[in-house]
């Protein structure tokens, strides 16, 4: 009897109106399409592929928009591309100024490799322009008074213009010429580092300009020649450490360009 009752219960479970047994759900074979997450920061949503980030909020621009590389033409004309080259502290500037006074160090590029600056290109050049214009006039006054006390003297404003185009032109054009020449020759070149090195090489001319106030002609020539040789050695030896000995003609030319600058300063401002 007991077996028959169990059999009846089992057989009646499939009748209409009966409650079916609980069957575990099988995994659906249909593909679930994930809806991409969307909010106001990434709208429209990026549903795969290289379609960009979508619209950005005004307060959070993309990183690519914030930092435009200087090697892009758009970055060349952007002020933000050059702010990193003025991010130097006083200790670093003083260390580089002292290094530029060592004509045989040949380690300047290793000191600025991590963070080359354009501080010298702007401030050292500008300082030298005004020093040459001011001390050049003062030296002319002292020489005239040394020769004849009765000679009248007036400030020559043209010294400022001459100092500006000669110093700015030299410190900008010469490194650029070397950069394009070395690029053409397939050698190592860095325009920012060249600008930095050539600008700091002018530091010694600022100091020697005060010594050129001495109203003795032969002594002035000795001072300017020593200054030119020291600055030329600094440029040539550091340039050789940077590009190697393959282009010795370029290194020798850099040496004599510094000598020519020294002679120009002596002849024009401290004649």
* Segment 46-99, tens digit of pLDDT: 444 444 444 444 444 433 333 444 445 555 556 666 677 777 888 888 999 999
Highest mean pLDDT among 10-24, 27-41, 81-95, 184-198: 184-198
**Residues constituting the chain:** 271
With contact defined as beta carbons under 8 Å apart, do 270 and 134 qualify? no
**Predicted pLDDT at 76:** 56
Mean pLDDT, rounded, for 110-132: 90
pLDDT at 151 over 80: no
CA distance 255 to 247: 13
Over the chain, what is the mean pLDDT? 77
CA-based nearest residue to 229, from 265, 267, 194, 262: 262
CA-based nearest residue to 200, from 164, 239, 246: 239
Helix 191-200 vs helix 217-243: angle between axes, to the nearest 10 degrees? 160
**Predicted pLDDT at 75:** 56
Q: What is the pTM of this model?
A: 0.69
CA-based nearest residue to 206, from 260, 96, 129: 129
Higher pLDDT, 100 or 54: 100
């Amino acid at each position: 009897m007991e077996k028959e009752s169990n059999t009846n219960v089992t057989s009646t479970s499939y009748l209409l109106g009966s409650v079916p047994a609980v069957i575990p759900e099988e995994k659906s074979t249909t593909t679930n399409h994930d809806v991409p997450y969307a909010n106001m920061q990434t709208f429209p949503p990026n549903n795969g592929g290289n379609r960009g980030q979508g619209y950005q909020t005004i307060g959070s621009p993309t990183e690519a928009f914030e930092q435009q590389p200087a090697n892009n033409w758009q970055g060349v004309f952007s002020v933000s591309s050059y702010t990193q080259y003025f991010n130097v502290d006083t200790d670093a500037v003083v260390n580089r100024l002292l290094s530029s006074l060592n004509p045989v160090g040949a380690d300047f590029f290793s000191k600025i490799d991590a963070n080359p600056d354009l501080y010298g290109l702007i401030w050292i050049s500008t300082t030298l322009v005004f020093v040459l214009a001011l001390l050049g006039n003062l030296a002319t006054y002292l020489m005239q008074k040394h020769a004849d006390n009765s000679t009248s003297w007036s400030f020559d404003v043209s010294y400022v213009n001459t100092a500006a185009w000669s110093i700015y032109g030299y410190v900008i054009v010469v490194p650029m010429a070397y950069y394009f020449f070395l690029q053409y020759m397939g050698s190592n070149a860095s325009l920012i580092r060249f600008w930095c090195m050539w600008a700091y090489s002018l530091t010694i001319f600022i100091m020697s300009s005060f010594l050129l106030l001495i109203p003795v002609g032969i002594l002035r020539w000795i001072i300017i020649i020593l200054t030119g040789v020291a600055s030329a050695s600094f440029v040539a030896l550091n340039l050789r450490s940077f590009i190697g000995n393959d282009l010795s003609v370029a290194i020798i030319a850099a040496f004599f360009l510094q000598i020519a600058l020294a002679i120009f300063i002596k002849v024009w401002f401290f004649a």
